[in-house]
Structure 1
Amino acid sequence: MARIDHQDIAKPSFTIGIVAGEESGDILGSGLMNALARRAPNLRFIGVGGDQMIDQGLESLAAIEELSVNGFIEPLKRLPSLVRIISRLFRCFRKVDVVVGIDFNVFNLLLERLLKRKGVPTAHYVSPAVYAWRKGRIRKIGRSTDLVMALFPFEPPLYSDSGVRAEFVGHPLADDIDPSEEAGERSMRARADLGIPADALVVGLLPGSRLSEVRLLGDLFIQAAEQAVARVNVGGQLYRSAVLVIPCVNEKIRSLLTEIVAKRNLTEVRLINGNSKHTIAASDVVLTKAGTSTLEALLLGRPMVVSYRLGGLSYWIAKRLIQSEFVALPNILAGYKIVPEILQNDATPDRLANALIEEMKRFEKDEGPEGAFREIHEKLRCGASERAAEAVMSLVSD
Structure 2
Amino acid sequence: MTATERPIRVALLAGEASGDVLGASLLEALQQRYPHVEFAGIGGPKMLKAGFHSWFDMETLSVMGLFEVLGRLPELLKLRKEVVAKIIDWQPDVFVGIDAPDFNLGVEQRLKDAGITTVHYVSPSVWAWRQKRIFKIDRATDLVLALLPFEKQFYDQHRVACEFVGHPLADEIPLTLAQSDARQRIGLANANQVMAILPGSRGGEVAQLGETFLQTAARLYEERPQLQFVIPAANDKRRQQIETLLEQFPQLPVTVIDGNARDAMAAADVVLLASGTVALEAMLVKRPMVVAYKVHWLTYQIARRMVKVKYASLPNLLADKPLVPEFLQYDMTVDNLAAELGRQLDAPDNRLQHQFEQLHKLIRQDASVRAADAIDVLIKKKRANQIDSKGTSK
- TM-score class normalised by the smaller sequence: over 0.9
Equivalent residue number for residue 337 of structure 1: 322
Question: 1-side partners of 2:130 and 2:353: how far apart?
Answer: 32
TM-score between the two structures when normalised by the length of structure 1: 0.92
Equivalent residue number for residue 372 of structure 2: 389
Equivalent residue number for residue 354 of structure 2: 371
Question: 2-side partners of 1:207 and 1:170: how far apart?
Answer: 26
Cα distance, 1:197 vs structure 2: 3.1
Question: 1-side partners of 2:307 and 2:93: how far apart?
Answer: 35
Equivalent residue number for residue 306 of structure 1: 291
Question: 2-side partners of 1:137 and 1:12: how far apart?
Answer: 36
User: Does the CA contact (< 8 Å) of 1:188 and 1:198 recur in 2?
Assistant: no
Question: 2-side partners of 1:355 and 1:32: how far apart?
Answer: 37
Cα distance, 1:163 vs structure 2: 2.7
Residue deviations 1:46-102 (CA, integer Å, cap 9, x gap): 101110000111111100011110100121111121112111211121211100000
RMSD of aligned residue pairs (Cα, Å) = 1.3
Equivalent residue number for residue 222 of structure 2: 230
Matched letter for residue 344 of structure 1: Q
Partner SS state of residue 138, structure 1: helix
Question: 2-side partners of 1:124 and 1:292: how far apart?
Answer: 17
Equivalent residue number for residue 343 of structure 2: 358
Question: 1-side partners of 2:85 and 2:228: how far apart?
Answer: 49
Partner SS state of residue 369, structure 1: helix
User: Does the CA contact (< 8 Å) of 1:243 and 1:268 recur in 2?
Assistant: yes
Partner SS state of residue 155, structure 1: helix
User: Does the CA contact (< 8 Å) of 1:12 and 1:44 recur in 2?
Assistant: no
- Choose which of 36, 39, 42 in structure 1 pairs with 2:36: 42
**Are 1:210 and 2:202 an aligned pair?**
yes
Question: 1-side partners of 2:364 and 2:203: how far apart?
Answer: 31
Q: Which moved more, 1:100-109 or 1:86-95?
A: 86-95
The alignment of Structure 1 onto Structure 2 pairs a total of residues equal to 375
**Are 1:257 and 2:253 an aligned pair?**
no
Residue deviations 1:300-329 (CA, integer Å, cap 9, x gap): 010100000001111111111111110011
User: Does the CA contact (< 8 Å) of 1:305 and 1:359 recur in 2?
Assistant: no
Residue deviations 1:249-297 (CA, integer Å, cap 9, x gap): 1111111111110111232111110111011011110000100110011
5+ long unaligned stretches in structure 1? 1-10
5+ long unaligned stretches in structure 2? 382-394
Question: 1-side partners of 2:7 and 2:70: how far apart?
Answer: 39
Question: 2-side partners of 1:110 and 1:91: how far apart?
Answer: 13
User: Does the CA contact (< 8 Å) of 2:191 and 2:228 recur in 1?
Assistant: no
Matched letter for residue 49 of structure 2: D
- Choose which of 244, 251, 260 in structure 1 pairs with 2:229: 244
Question: 2-side partners of 1:167 and 1:355: how far apart?
Answer: 38
Question: 1-side partners of 2:104 and 2:80: how far apart?
Answer: 9
Residue deviations 1:201-255 (CA, integer Å, cap 9, x gap): 2110010011111011111101112212322x2xx4xx4xx32111111111111
Residue deviations 1:164-216 (CA, integer Å, cap 9, x gap): 1111001011111111x3x4xx2111111111133422110010011111011
Paired-residue identity, %: 41
TM-score between the two structures when normalised by the length of structure 2: 0.93
Matched letter for residue 61 of structure 2: L
Q: Which moved more, 1:21-30 or 1:199-208?
A: 199-208
Question: 1-side partners of 2:214 and 2:186: how far apart?
Answer: 19
Matches within 5 A, 1:1-398: 12-94=6-88, 95-179=91-175, 181=176, 183=177, 186-231=178-223, 233=224, 236=225, 239=226, 242-363=227-348, 366=350, 368-398=351-381
Matched letter for residue 153 of structure 1: P
Deviation beyond 3 Å, 4+ runs, structure 1: none
Question: 2-side partners of 1:89 and 1:328: how far apart?
Answer: 32
